[in-house]
Every structure is written in structure tokens, then in C-alpha cells.
Amino acid sequence: MLKRMWVLGLILCVCGVSWAAETVATDFKAAYLPLEALEQKLAANGLEVVGKHAVAGNKKYTSVVYTSKDLKKLAKNPNRGFIAVLRIMHNADKKEVVASNPEYFIRAFFQKDYKEGMEKPVMKALQSALGTLTPTADQLKTKKLAKYHFMMSMPYYDDFVRVAKGTTPDLMKKLEANAGDRVVFKLDLAGDGSSMLCGVALPKEIEKFNEKLDTMGRSHLLPYTVLIENGEANILHAKYYLALSFPQLTMTEFMKIMAVPGNIEDAFKADFQ
């Protein structure tokens, strides 16, 4: 039997046929609706909008950040706090609504600890809120998502960048004092203030990387999040998060913004001074 399977596999390869690999789209397109109506639809289906952010100060491109009881539950797992929120891009310029795929980011952030169906409650709520969801062409194989990095020597999900040390209350005070109204949202993950996920708008000159990459309508990593818990403030390594969010981009395109990861790290360190 094994010999027959081996021969069949060889024949398929010779004929140029391969087994279809399971892939997951980065995001979905949905029917366009006004921003206020979008927020109402989300709220009516248990998806709480925690913040809105105009990408690079352009109000035609609004990143709508939402959470839910299911996302918060997932975020309570060790080192998984970043999954507490997902984003929807409201593109008033092209009359588009593009939503992050919950399965894509849950698989990426949970890696080998991902279990089938983790995303189902959020997906069900998102479909109920937005109607038909059409996968975009940007996608990755599920096996690659579990151990994703852009290329050899590049960071993985859990290669967090520590931007500050201190107690959660002290770090929150510094962030609020220095970042001011750039703090788009604050989400208490533990319920007692000990674990906080904050979304922070980056300086406009940094966020303009989207214009260089033509990703204004797909900015599913803004506002950038920082996780404050266990005596540290950590961010996802930008070399990981940028590549994960825009898998369609080439090395040549990323070279256009080679200074951005370092600039993001420096901006957060300055916010916690």
C-alpha cells in the first residue's frame, strides 16, 4: 500500500500535479457601508469597537479596532495578549470595507498552540455583522503561519521587542503622559489593571510607509499595539508584523521601508521615557 502511494505521488509530481495546500487569506472584503453604520453593525453582533484611527492622519482611511469576549478569552493565554483586538479598514476613498481574517491572525499568534475552531465565534459574529465576506488574494499556507517569519534570520511572533520596564501603573502613566492623544485605546485584559493592551498611533511620518507600499487600504497593524504586563512593555517585532500583515509584498518593496522597524521601536521607547 505504501509503495503504491509512493508511486502515485511520483506520477503526480512528474505530471506537474500537486496536492492542494490549505491556505488562509489575510483579510476579507465586505459590502461598503458608512463608518457609523459599520460601528452599529459590529456592536449589534457582540463586537465592541475600542478605537478608531485615521492612518497617517488621512481621515479617508479609518482603522476600526474591535474586541469581543472571545478575543479577550484567547488573550488571557500566556504571551497572547496581542490577539485581544482585530481591525477593519474603512476606506472611504475607494468605498471599501476590508476586515482582518480572525483565523489568519489567531493561527499566526498561537503558532503550535492553535486549535481548530478557535476563530469560529469571532468569524460567526463578523459574518453576521458584515454579510458576505470575500477572501482577498493575499494568503499564506496554514503550516507556514504556525511558524511564520519572513525569511532566515528574521524574527518570529514571540521575538517581542521590550521597549520599557516597570510596573503596569507606572508604565501606563508614562505612556499617557508622553503619547497623549496618540493613545487610541486602552484595554484591560486581566480586569484588574495588571495586563493592559494599548493601541498607539505612530508619528505620521512613520505611518506614511503605507503610502510607499500602497497599503493604505490594508493597514491592519495600525494603531500599533503595546502589551504592558509582568513588569515589561512589549511590542511585536515590526519586521515580523509588517511581513505578516502584507504577505504579498516582495523583499524589494520592503527595502523601501527598511528604516521603519527601527523607527517604530524608537518611537515606543520615547513614549515610555
Residue 270 has pLDDT above 90, yes or no: yes
Domain boundaries, the chain: 25-146+153-271
Instruction: Give one DSSP letter per residue of 148-163, joined into a string.
Output: --SSTT---TT--EEE
Q: Residue 33 has which C-alpha cell?
A: 457601508
Kindly report the backbone phi and psi dihedral angles of residue 112, in degrees, each rounded to the nearest multiple of 5, phi listed first: -70, -15
Q: Other CB atoms closer than 10 Å to residue 194's CB: what's the count? A: 14
Reported residue count of the chain is: 273
Packing angle between helix 102-110 and helix 120-130, nearest 10 degrees?
160
Instruction: Give the pLDDT band (50/70/90) at residue 151.
Output: confident
The answer to whether the beta carbons of residues 39 and 49 sit under 8 Å apart is: yes
User: Which pTM value belongs to this model?
Assistant: 0.90
| pLDDT tens, position by position, 48-89 | 999 999 999 999 999 999 999 999 999 999 999 999 999 999
Tell the burial category of 203 from Cβ atoms under 10 Å away from its Cβ (0-12, 13-18, 19+): middle
For residue 16, is pLDDT > 90?
no
Sign of CA dihedral 80, 266, 150, 159: negative
Q: Which tens digits make up the pLDDT trace of 154-182?
A: 999 999 999 999 999 999 999 999 999 99
Q: What's the confidence (pLDDT) of residue 21?
A: 52
3-state secondary structure of 109: helix
